[in-house]
Chain A
Amino acid sequence: MRIVTTLAALLLLHGCTDEAQEAAALAARLEQEASGLSAALAQHSAPQPGGVVVRLAFGEEADLDLYVTDPLMDTVYFARHESRTGGRIVSDIRCETPTEGLRIEEIRFDAPWPGRYRVGVDHPKRCDDARAPAPSAYALTVFADGEVHEKRGSVNLQRFEVIVLEFEVKGEPNEAT
């Protein structure tokens, strides 16, 4: 029945605003927020030697979740604290987590396996009362193999952007466990 109510609400909400103008303003705002997060993240996190460190920064309005899938296609995220290759989530930041403005979620691999890594960002929940699509801005930094990969963007409520970034760690393939 939820679908029917959502649909009715959507049709009602879909009024006669100037959609194009609104969308452009929203995009500009999100871009500004994301670049603010990106700058804050850069300040917050010194480059990491060794290992793979993935950090996701977002604002207090939402709970965003970071997912990092390792070369064994095993994913570290808030509900899988550790993967077979030793990746682990350092902190899962939730609406309830006390933070001062900037929220940073982090996943690290101290002895990363060589191969391809995938980073995903989910937006499961608002911490304010905003309703869908309620996009939330984010910034992402990856330290891997002495390289830094950065990405910023936004993700709508209840969307899981499964691949926002992919990167490679070089080396000889490991023995499978």
Chain B
Amino acid sequence: MKISIRTATCLSCILLTSAAHAAVFQGVVADEQGTGIAGAMVTFRFGEPFQERTVFTDDAGAYAATGLPAGTNHLLRVRRIGWKDLISGGHLASEDGATALDLTMVRHTDPAEVAAQLPANHWYALLLEKFDNEYHREQFVRQCTYCHQQGNAATRIVRDTQEWEKVLALMARMGGGLDADLAARVPELINAAYDPEVAVPALTQGWQEPGFAPPPSPEVRRSVIDEYQLGARSSMQHDMIVHPSGHIYSVDMSSDTLFRMDPSIPGGKREWFSIPREEVPLGGVMGSGALPSNTEMHVGPHSLQVDPKGRVWITLATGNRLAMFDPSDASFQIEPLPAGIYPHTLRIDDRGRIWYTIAVSNHFGMYNPENGRHEVVRLPARSFGEEVALRLLPFVFWLSQHVDLDLGGGEGGGLPVPYGVDIAPNGDVWFSQLNAHRIGRIDPETLEVTMIDTPFTAPRRMRFDSKGNLWIPGFSSNLLSRFDPQTLEFKNFELPIEPLGSETPYSLNVDLSTDTVWICGTNSDTLISFDSAAEEFTVYPLPTRSTYTRDIDFDRDGAVWTSNSNAPAWQIETGVPRVLRLIPGRHQDPGTTSSTR
């Protein structure tokens, strides 16, 4: 165990942590004949709110879960596709030495149950192959997979046509509009794809053979995954970050809350701070149409970043504001936007200036807290009609507060949406325009904008590596792209998630210590790493079904953090939103449940 002692207080807290977390469970997961099962996920849940620690079995079926609290009851779950989940409670680990716990799994006999264990993307692939038209496929993926997974248990139900029409009309009002001709075809396509009579045999072909759902690689199986319950059951933990202090901060869009979690405290100490709503009504600027039924959203905190002084800046999307949280006195400062609608993703440059996309009105903003100066730039539209529609938007939104107006979801989500943003090592500011399939560069001094078409669809949240390459996920194109701002060349890498083409990568981040790119396997319950030197992918399966991820960050120990923000949260297995830490396999010793710095 590596311990770096920073202060006396910290030393005592680490000692305490080690004492309370000395426990180890270890054993073998085997079938009824006693043969070890490789690649099973063994999950221990403890505490309230809970933490879950998952480890994998090796080739012989052996596992060891270290760093668990002694003298505490653990709920155990063992999971492997093709086998019945093994769930049992009341496991106490002894304080001295490892507690032996051998486990026996029983094979599924019903293929429908095996199909139900598969991540959503397996089902989704059945639907995607039904589209005979690339324009429709792309649109469906881009418009239907950005709040929740497609193909998970809640969305793959066969429904009568009228019910589908109602679902599609509701989704359109929420922002997931489709072109009329596509919407007319969707009920039939979905029902044909998800009909269990056809889907189950297709998904479980050869399921009793050893090659079906192969275990992850030995390196992946050395990883440890921690999941921390966070927030209320309706929470939408949109984005999370690792603060230099080691705290995890996360914003709950659905309840206007900023969460702080200290993973160095056993089980994770959680605190929450209500973001001032001022006079903003329920729903904020989006108040009129269709809000999620369980929402408490007024200002809608969306994304967050830390400035050079350690303060946390947050975009309040539906409040049309920026918020600054000062951890030194837990106070908020609110900064209304001078123009534009829906501040979205932000980055902070070396000088502390905040750069952010403004999604709905196609603007880009900069705020300098040093001198209180705001800049808002109107981003280029693709056509005159688009330009007129965008210019009318503020008026339309104003009008919608006074008279009833059908704002609709925009057929097919046509208007350009400024989305991801990042700052290049040379200080240039880059952003993506999602629906327009373009990226752009803003000169930080002159604010001059240059646009570049991407040779793939739906560039979403992007990041620079240490060498100045820009890495971009193609949300509806199942790829990772590397863009060189010097040569303006793109190189695309298809994501290796099986079945190929079924992934929807929402976001990525680059671990600057190694230039490893980490990508959200948003529709497949995975995190995907890409070694940028060897140009190789590694796929890490995550334990909870419907783990919908939108952002990634890293802690000082090289662990990878993300949050499960599937909205609605009830679609998440067990219905509980979480933040997650993946300690990749190359880090041999996962230490305790606290991070041992």
The residues of B that contact A84 with a CB separation of less than 8 Å are 570, 575
Indicate if A162 sits at the interface (CB-CB under 8 A). yes
Asked if A3 contacts B167 (CB within 8 A), the reply is no
B170 interface neighbour in A3, A92, A118, A124, Cβ under 8 Å? A124
Instruction: State A138–B392 Cα separation when bound (angstroms).
Output: 34
Contact status of A69 and B154, CB under 8 A, knowing A10-B399, A124-B170 = no
The residues of A that contact B406 with a CB separation of less than 8 Å are 2, 6, 132, 157-158
The residues of B that contact A77 with a CB separation of less than 8 Å are 293
Indicate if A96 sits at the interface (CB-CB under 8 A). yes
Indicate if B289 sits at the interface (CB-CB under 8 A). yes
Asked if A7 contacts B399 (CB within 8 A), the reply is yes
Asked if B392 contacts A79 (CB within 8 A), the reply is no
**Nearest residue in B to A67 (C-beta to C-beta)?**
B293
Binds A, one of B407-415, B502-510, B588-596: B407-415
Q: Could you tell me the dominant secondary structure of chain B's interface residues?
A: loop
**Nearest residue in B to A81 (C-beta to C-beta)?**
B157
The residues of B that contact A73 with a CB separation of less than 8 Å are 232-234, 294, 569-570
**Mask: chain B, 281-299; 1 = CB below 8 Å from A; 0 = not:** 0110000111101110000
Interface residues on B, range: 35 or more
The residues of B that contact A6 with a CB separation of less than 8 Å are 405-406
Indicate if B162 sits at the interface (CB-CB under 8 A). yes
Contact status of A122 and B290, CB under 8 A, knowing A74-B233, A78-B163, A162-B295 = yes
User: Could you tell me how many residues of chain A have their Cβ less than 8 Å away from some Cβ of chain B?
Assistant: 41
CB distance from A9 to the nearest CB of B (A): 10
Instruction: State A69–B385 Cα separation when bound (angstroms).
Output: 41
Asked if A79 contacts B167 (CB within 8 A), the reply is yes
Per the 8 Å Cβ criterion, residues 222-238 of B in contact with A are 232-234
**Nearest residue in B to A74 (C-beta to C-beta)?**
B570
Asked if B389 contacts A158 (CB within 8 A), the reply is no
Asked if B290 contacts A2 (CB within 8 A), the reply is no
Asked if A2 contacts B410 (CB within 8 A), the reply is yes
Per the 8 Å Cβ criterion, residues 391-449 of B in contact with A are 392-393, 395-396, 399, 403-408, 410-411, 414
CB distance from A12 to the nearest CB of B (A): 13
The residues of A that contact B574 with a CB separation of less than 8 Å are 177
Instruction: State A154–B162 Cα separation when bound (angstroms).
Output: 24
B-side residues, CB < 8 A to A, are 154, 159, 162-163, 166-167, 169-170, 173, 232-234, 282-283, 288-291, 293-295, 385, 388-389, 392-393, 395-396, 399, 403-408, 410-411, 414, 568-570, 574-576
Q: A3-B396, A7-B405, A79-B166 are in contact. List 4 more A-B contacts (CB 8 A).
A: A4-B385, A10-B405, A156-B404, A160-B173
